[in-house]
Amino acid sequence: MKAAVIYQRGELPQYTDFPDPVVKNDGELLITMKAAAIKHFDKGTASGRHYSAGKEQQNGTVIGGDGVGLLDDGTKVFALGISGMIAEKAVIDKRRMVRLPEGIDDIAACALPNAVAGSAMALRFRANIKSGETVLINGATGFTGKIAVQMAKYYGAKKIIVTGRNEETLKSLLTLGADQTISVMQTNEQFIEQLKIIHNDTPIDIIVDYLWGHTAELILSCLKGHGSFTHKTRFVSIGSITGDTIQLSSEVLRSVDLQLSGSGLGSWTKGEMEQLISEILPEMFQLLAHDKLKVDTISVNLKDIEKLWEMEVSDGKRLVVTM
């Protein structure tokens, strides 16, 4: 079969022939791949930078962790891969697949799940979102951030505040459910002042953070109390686009009712992961099929993977490889 293969970490994937993956037990299935998205996670694991990256394979590794494909009977499914998914064929775990609704677009369907995992899991299981709450999404102009805006709205958020660099993309989030925008291109003082005004007016219940780094420091400093009772805020870290570490004053932790947690592989329980597959993703695919979720994608062909692996995808779009 043809596949996108990395032979050494740090190198570009190659479009090449590779042995077909083999089903090893009754819990696995071989599927014919139709499309697979390229995420930061895929690039991180392929390069060895992501904390979940396994050992390097001497004979090459097919890249891609999930995608859309066809079962032997023609049923279209989204699935997590046991073998690499940016290939003509892949082996999947029967327990980690979702049958897709009729009429759904392959490219949109494979772009959505990673963003749902990166937003709905945080909102539901770490933040325990309730209808009527105020949500701040830090770094909302990326693909997952855009989905997070829509997820927060779907789960009943009364007010959604979004931050980001790109002014045009920030404004576009107002059409997806955001109520107020904050540019991270302001000075620190302007950013803090704007956020404090918002927090005083409508106390922030949930912060979903994709940036970490300096903006997370600024946001946490805005929550610092002064010895009186404070509003409880649940801060969930999902990404670290602008830096993996921060300085956090212990006074912030002591002076405010703050819940600080993370959402990602390793932090989810087995039950939460099962719920993602059995309940959350099927629900989101139905919304997508009925045009109630908006996703922006750029599609490329598998044979062009070497040229497009490091392609910069702007304006919150997801790069999808078709087979």
φ, ψ of residue 74 to 5 degrees: the values are 90, -5
Which residue is it, tokens 């139709």?
34
In the chain, CATH 3.90.180.10 sits at: 2-113+288-322
Question: In this structure, which topology does domain 2-113+288-322 adopt according to CATH?
Answer: Quinone Oxidoreductase; Chain A, domain 1 (3.90.180)
CATH 3.40.50.720 residue window(s) in the chain:
119-262
Which own/partner pairs from 271-280 qualify as long-range (CB within 8 Å, at least 24 positions apart)?
A: 272/121, 272/125, 276/116, 276/117, 276/120, 276/121, 277/95, 277/96, 277/97, 277/98, 280/116, 280/120, 280/121, 280/124
Amino acid identity at 318:
R
Asked if 247 and 217 count as a contact pair (C-beta separation under 8 A), the reply is yes
Evaluated on CA atoms 158, 164, 167, 170, the torsion sign reads: negative
Residue linked to tokens 């494909």: 69
Sign of torsion over alpha carbons 12, 14, 19, 25: positive
- How confident is the model at residue 53, as a pLDDT? 47
Report the pLDDT value the prediction gives residue 240, as an integer from 0 to 100: 94
CB 152 within 8 A of CB 238: no
- Report pLDDT for 193: 97
What is the block-wise mean pLDDT of the chain (323 residues), using blocks of 10 residues?
A: 89 93 96 93 61 59 95 97 97 97 96 97 98 98 97 98 95 97 97 97 97 98 94 97 95 96 95 97 98 95 89 85 96
CATH hierarchy code of domain 119-262: 3.40.50.720
Q: Which of 301, 130, 145, 127 has the alpha carbon at shortest distance from 210?
A: 145
From the list 34, 29, 73, 23, the residue with the least C-alpha distance to 302 is 34
Residue 163 neighbours by CB under 8 Å, 6+ apart: 136, 137, 138, 139, 140, 170, 181, 182, 183, 184, 211, 215
For tokens 């190659």, the residue is 14
Structure tokens of 295?
């996703």
Contact 42, 65 (CB under 8 A): yes
pLDDT of residue 58: 60
**What tokens does 234 get?**
């649940």
